[in-house]
Amino acid sequence: MATGALDLEAGTQSGQPTGQHGLTAHSHGGEGLASQHPGERQSPGTQVRSGVAADHPVTTGKEEAWRFTPLRRLRGLHDDAPLDGVPLTVSATAPDGVTVSELTGAAAREIRGVSGYLPTERVEARAFESAPRSVLVDVPAQTELTEPVRIALVGQAGEAATANHLLIRIGAQATAQVVLTSTGSATLTDIVEIVVGEGAHATVAVLGEWSSDTVAVSRHHIQVGRDATVKHVALAFGGDLTRLYTSVDYTGPGGDAELLGLYFADEGQHLEHRLMVRHTAPHCRSNVLYKGALQGKSAHTVWVGDVAIERTAEGTDTYELNRNLLLTRGARADSVPNLEIETGEIVGAGHASATGRFDDEQLFYLLSRGIPEATARRLVVRGFFGEVLQRIGVPVLVERATEIIEQELAVTGA
């Protein structure tokens, strides 16, 4: 929960709209502020870091990191459901100079953890330990791609669980965009490691278009090299339950991470996003913008954004924002931004969170100008998501996301 230093905007918002004017930015200047949310850290450090599942206790749901997730619907992924389902199929379209390979056995084991990542949850360790293969996307140093690398992951297995591991390596000074799309039916635990070399410019985008029975628990870890710029984009539409925990570490000064997200939850869906940006290196930036729309009974979204600025991270500049739009009653959006600051020598640090309703008065106003109801809803939702879509910078992805949003709006006939 928010401490007294923050107003209610920063606390958990359980579908309680704060009104459309409820957006409040909190800025923490460089005044040597003490740690703000000591109880809420979900960062590694106090936690077990191990690639061996047996080293991690079975998740009970009481942990801070799991308190919003309905474990019942995880089909035992967090416990010990056998990972013997048919693996995802992987197909790649890669421009010249990029290699995409499937590794198994020792070769696969060797690349797991090269981003500095080690699992912090049992569900992740299970994938780390027993994913049937690893997929390696290698963009060599200095490469300048003009077309995105496209990786399509297709679930085959339905109820039987499987695991996946993927490593995206963007070499020093390279410029590349990598787009992952997920479709099909799966019960999945997967890990995506992203290593962005010195001075590289990378975009890694994931588009979750899972079929409606999919349960997917994902961990992304991004290692940002010195003076590297990375944009991570998470678009979540499909699935019964999807949860993505994205963590960012910086290996040197000058790193810049932009974390964008967009989700649209329908009746019964649970879409969860967690972020942990750990500023340890000086003069790095992070900027987080996640927006979600919800419609239908028991549509539930969770967004938890943690940013930690450690004592060594002077000159950090960070801002995070989450906004949710409730299109109908009965939906619930939880939003928890956390900021922990251990040095006063920063450029800026702020966060904001707001959940608003597309309310009857707004609808009436648009209708009273002759605008039909379906158009009115589209207008509002498009406007709401526009800010995120404009920043993605991958035209094919923006096009697809726009199409899906239109379809989502057609679902309710709203």
Partner 1 sequence: MATLEIRDLHVNVLTDDAPKEILRGVDLTIAGNETHAIMGPNGSGKSTLAYSLAGHPKYQVTSGTVTLDGEDVLAMTVDERARAGLFLAMQYPVEVPGVSTSNFLRTAATAVRGQAPAIRTWVKEVNAAMADLEIDPVFSERSVNEGFSGGEKKRHEILQLALLKPKIAVLDETDSGLDVDALRIVSDGVNRYKAASAEAGEAVGIMLITHYTRILRYITPDRVHVFAGGRVVESGGPELAEELETNGYVRFTGVGAGA
Q: Which residues bind partner 1 (CB under 8 A)?
A: 20-21, 356, 360-362, 364-373, 375, 379-380, 383-384, 386
Provide the minimum distance between the beta carbon of 361 and partner 1 in the complex, in angstroms, as a whole number: 5
Specify the residue, 21 or 62, whose C-beta has the smaller distance to partner 1.
21
Torsion sign across C-alpha atoms 375, 381, 386, 389: negative
Our CB check for partner 1 shows the closer of 55 and 387 to be 387
Contacts of 271 (CB under 8 A, 6+ apart): 236, 239, 241, 242, 243, 263, 265, 292, 300, 301, 302
Phi first, then psi: what are they for 205, rounded to 5°?
A: -125, 140
Least CB distance to partner 1 at residue 25 (A): 15
Name which of 75 and 391 has its Cβ closer to partner 1: 391
Which residues partner with 182 through β-bridges? 153, 208
**Smallest separation, CB 384 to partner 1 (Å):** 4
From the CB of 387, what's the least distance to partner 1, in Å? 8
Q: Which residue, 20 or 287, is less far from partner 1 as judged by CB? A: 20
Nearer to partner 1, 152 or 371 (CB): 371
Task: Give 21-40 as a DSSP string.
Answer: T----EE--SS-PPPS-GGG
| Residue 99 φ/ψ, nearest 5 degrees | -115, 140
Task: Concatenate the DSSP letters of all residues of 55-94 into one string.
Answer: GSPPP-S-SGGGTTS-GGGGTTTTTT----SPPPEEEEE-
**Least distance CB 295 / partner 1 (angstroms):** 16
Shortest CB 366 distance to partner 1, Å: 7
- What is the torsional sign of CA 279, 241, 103, 83? positive
Q: Which is nearer to partner 1, 94 or 260 (CB)?
A: 260
Q: How far apart are CA 320 and CA 336, in angstroms?
A: 11
With beta carbons less than 8 A apart as the criterion, state whether 88 and 153 touch. Answer: yes
CB of 205 to partner 1, least distance (A): 23
Alpha-carbon distances, residue 196 vs 189, 207, 257, 265, 280 (angstroms): 23, 20, 10, 31, 16
CA distance 289 to 320: 6
Cβ-based nearer residue to partner 1, 114 or 379: 379
Asked if residues 260 and 287 have their Cβ atoms less than 8 Å apart, the reply is no
Instruction: Compare residues 1 and 379 and give the one whose CB is closer to partner 1.
Output: 379
Q: Nearest approach, Cβ of 291 to partner 1 (angstroms)?
A: 10
**DSSP annotation of 410:** H
Least Å from the CB of residue 259 to partner 1: 21
Contact indicator for 305, 322 with CB cutoff of 8 Å: yes
Closer Cβ to partner 1, 170 or 366, answer by number: 366
Asked if residue 332 lies in contact with residue 68, where contact means CB atoms within 8 angstroms, the answer is no
